[in-house]
């Protein structure tokens, strides 16, 4: 009997080890629970009936049975006391007896291994997370977990989740995926013990706040103070969180007189989706360019729906659909356009005055919509469907794709743009191309700022480093540099070259092509400022500011920016390319400094090789 017991216990231990390694934690826990329930029920039956039959005393059997059932789970059996009774009267029943004991000991061994192994794994993960670069992700949800996996695959150092009430199963799953979790109020408050545990003062730290928007900001502010106390270098810190860019950036970004994060990426999901649309179907890939860099056709588009996503799409298409030789045309279809567009029309009044943007109070399923598509079918380049409803988007885009196929107009891009990103099919029946927005490509603060820092450097001829210039830069100028960087592929496409050719020294292009690209850059720059709510500065206002500028110089006071009034959002450079020379001469005569606004636009084109080279260095 002892030998049988040894075999049973050894088998149970081995089985527990194998199954805990082979199965996912959730499956292993479920199997353990099932085995425990079966063993408990079987034990009560075997010992209850066995003792009642062998002793004939029901009361004594009721007392002894629970003790024997409990002993089953620690590998002890009481076979001798019930030998010959009904539960073990035949060989088959004896086998069942030992199977029940096997399940009992297995369930207990498995639970012990699971608990001890989980604690050991958690400790090991935390120990390993104290080395190398650190990625902190605030909030545990499907989006943040997916991002954490991507960070691990990209080799972004240790990944640690911060959550106030972390679910036990989620913690286990994250540990098994090679990531750590620090939970509780002290973790969210970034107290000293947590910062010390993470060695936060000595490492490169990338933070992604992905819980609820209000909580994200409070966490970011608290962590900023904790990083300052820990002595973390701002240049080694970066944070990404949702919200209003200019407001939150000014609260979190390091400046000359205030501690903060070195890189700050504040995102809006609608704007990220619109950027994903530009990446998926770049406007510069939808028009033909001549050998001189001029576009050979207009950029004509339709936006279906004008909520948050529709407005974001219109802004991105405007900023990225400007090319010398081309005219931008857009039509917006929404049955509630007048109510939806109020804020944008009030904030960006000059946008609707300076561009051909038509509005229709009609749905993307209406006959008015299809009549318009028929009228423009030869010039249309892109139709963005972004009603705010996945079901409506799918219905409109599917019907539209079939309609365009029957009219041999499948060159028109039909793109769905929603909360999770974009979906696009080149033709009916072809694979659906998806571009999610909650990925490093869109959320990484370093990626968002890398090219923009180089571009910003060209505007400042001081002897400060590019990083110091970026720190001193205001939030609006940062956004302007980012928008300029996003447009860089358009110049490469218009010039008819590839990135490899440029890296091999085939840049700048011929002078006439370079001028055309400068014109394109000025059109893009204008569009960005109109999208941001700017209006042209009148000659009278410019003359008035020139007088104020001279008075400041004479009195030794800080001078004003002559051509830009940030408070009232007016800019003297919001004029045509041909008018820039006269403005440059006027500003030069007032300030005594050489100003050449055309050259400024061209400089943004000339900097392309430097951006590409620094990208290669970063990748290596």
**Each residue's pLDDT tens digit, 452-488:** 888 888 777 778 888 888 888 888 888 899 899 999 9
Nearby residues of 105 by Cβ (< 8 Å), 6 or more positions away? 8, 9, 12, 13, 72, 73, 74, 75
Tally of domains within the chain: 4
Residue 457 inside a domain? The answer is no
pLDDT at residue number 63: 79
Residue 246 inside a domain? The answer is no
- Boundary (domain end) residue, out of 82, 98, 118: 118
pLDDT at residue number 546: 93
Residues 17 and 141 in one domain: no
pLDDT at residue number 254: 87
CATH of the domain at 194: 3.40.50.720
Residues 151 and 81 in one domain: no
Residue 458 inside a domain? The answer is no
Helix or strand (DSSP H, E) at 615: helix 608-619
Question: Is the pLDDT confidence value at 42 over 50?
Answer: yes
For 462, other C-beta atoms within 10 Å of its C-beta total: 9
Strands of 289-386 (E only): list them: 299-304, 328-333, 356-360, 380-385
Q: How confident is the model at residue 243 (pLDDT cuts 50, 70, 90)?
A: confident
Residues 414 and 292 in one domain: yes
Q: How confident is the model at residue 6 (pLDDT cuts 50, 70, 90)?
A: very low
Q: How confident is the model at residue 203 (pLDDT cuts 50, 70, 90)?
A: confident
Residue-number span of the structural domain to which 492 is assigned: 487-619
Residues 90 and 134 in one domain: no
Residue 256 inside a domain? The answer is no
pLDDT at residue number 131: 64
Mean pLDDT in residue range 426-452: 83
Residues 284 and 357 in one domain: yes
For 434-467, the DSSP string reads EEESSSHHHH-HHHHHHHHHHHHHHH--SSS-HH
Instruction: Tell me the whole-structure pTM to 2 decimals.
Output: 0.79
Residues 110 and 134 in one domain: no
Residue 54 inside a domain? The answer is yes
pLDDT at residue number 378: 93
3-class SS of residue 158 = strand
Residues 425 and 282 in one domain: yes
pLDDT at residue number 120: 45
Q: Which of 464-473, 497-506, 541-550, 572-581 has the lowest mean pLDDT?
A: 464-473
Q: Which of 38-47, 357-366, 395-404, 535-544 has the lowest mean pLDDT?
A: 38-47
User: What's the CA gap between 358 and 371, in Å, rounded?
Assistant: 14
């Amino acid at each position: 009997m002892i030998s049988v017991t040894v075999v049973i216990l050894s088998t149970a231990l081995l089985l527990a080890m194998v199954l805990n390694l082979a199965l996912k934690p959730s499956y292993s826990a479920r199997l353990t629970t099932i085995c425990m329930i079966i063993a408990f029920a079987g034990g009560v039956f075997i010992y209850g009936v066995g003792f009642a039959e062998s002793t004939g005393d029901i009361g004594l059997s009721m007392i002894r049975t629970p003790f024997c059932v409990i002993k089953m789970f620690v590998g002890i059996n009481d076979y001798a006391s019930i030998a010959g009774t009904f539960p073990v009267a035949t060989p088959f029943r004896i086998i069942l007896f030992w199977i029940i004991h096997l399940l009992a000991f297995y369930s207990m061994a498995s639970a012990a291994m699971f608990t001890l192994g989980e604690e050991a794994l958690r400790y090991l993960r935390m120990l390993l997370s104290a080395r190398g670069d650190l990625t902190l992700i605030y909030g545990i949800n499907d989006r943040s977990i997916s991002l954490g996996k991507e960070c691990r695959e990209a080799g972004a150092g240790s990944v640690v989740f911060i959550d106030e009430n972390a679910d036990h199963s989620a913690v286990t799953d994250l540990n098994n995926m090679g990531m750590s979790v620090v939970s509780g109020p002290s973790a969210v408050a970034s107290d000293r013990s947590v910062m010390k545990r993470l060695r936060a003062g000595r490492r490169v730290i990338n933070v992604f706040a992905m819980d609820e928007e209000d909580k994200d900001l409070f966490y970011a502010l608290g962590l900023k103070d904790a990083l300052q106390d820990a002595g973390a270098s701002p240049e080694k810190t970066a944070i990404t969180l949702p919200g209003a860019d200019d407001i939150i950036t000014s609260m979190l970004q390091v400046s000359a007189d205030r501690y903060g994060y070195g890189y700050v990426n504040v995102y809006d999901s609608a704007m990220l989706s619109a950027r994903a649309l530009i990446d998926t179907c770049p406007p510069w890939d939808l028009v033909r360019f001549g050998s001189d860099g001029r576009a050979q056709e207009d950029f004509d588009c339709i936006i279906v729906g004008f909520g948050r996503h529709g407005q974001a799409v219109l802004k991105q298409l405007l900023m990225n659909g400007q090319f010398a030789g081309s005219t931008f045309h857009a039509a917006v279809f929404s049955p509630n356009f007048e109510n939806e567009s109020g804020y944008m029309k009030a904030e960006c009044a000059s946008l609707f005055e300076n561009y051909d943007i038509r509005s229709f109070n009609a749905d993307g399923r209406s006959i008015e919509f299809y009549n318009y598509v028929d009228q423009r079918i030869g010039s249309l380049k892109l139709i963005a469907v972004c009603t705010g409803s996945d079901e409506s988007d799918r219905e409109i885009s599917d019907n539209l794709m079939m309609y365009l196929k029957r009219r041999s107009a499948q060159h028109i891009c039909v793109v769905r743009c929603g909360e999770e990103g974009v979906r696009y099919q080149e033709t009916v029946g072809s694979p659906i191309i998806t571009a999610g927005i909650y990925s490093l490509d869109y959320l990484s603060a370093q990626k968002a700022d890398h090219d923009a820092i180089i571009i910003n450097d060209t505007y400042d001829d001081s002897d400060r480093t590019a990083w110091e210039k970026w720190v001193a830069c205001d939030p609006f100028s940062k956004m302007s540099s980012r928008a300029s960087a996003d447009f860089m592929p358009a110049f490469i496409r218009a010039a008819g070259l590839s990135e490899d050719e440029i890296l091999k020294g085939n840049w700048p292009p011929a002078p006439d092509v370079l001028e055309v690209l400068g014109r394109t850059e000025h059109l893009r720059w204008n569009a960005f400022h109109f999208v941001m709510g700017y209006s042209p500065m009148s000659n009278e206002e410019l003359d008035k500011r020139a007088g104020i500028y001279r008075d400041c110089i004479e009195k030794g006071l800080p001078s004003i920016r002559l051509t830009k009034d940030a408070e009232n959002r007016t800019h003297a450079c919001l004029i045509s390319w041909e008018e820039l020379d006269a403005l440059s001469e006027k500003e030069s005569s007032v300030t005594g400094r050489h100003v050449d606004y055309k050259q400024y636009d061209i400089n943004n084109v000339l900097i392309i090789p430097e951006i590409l080279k620094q990208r290669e260095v970063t990748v290596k």
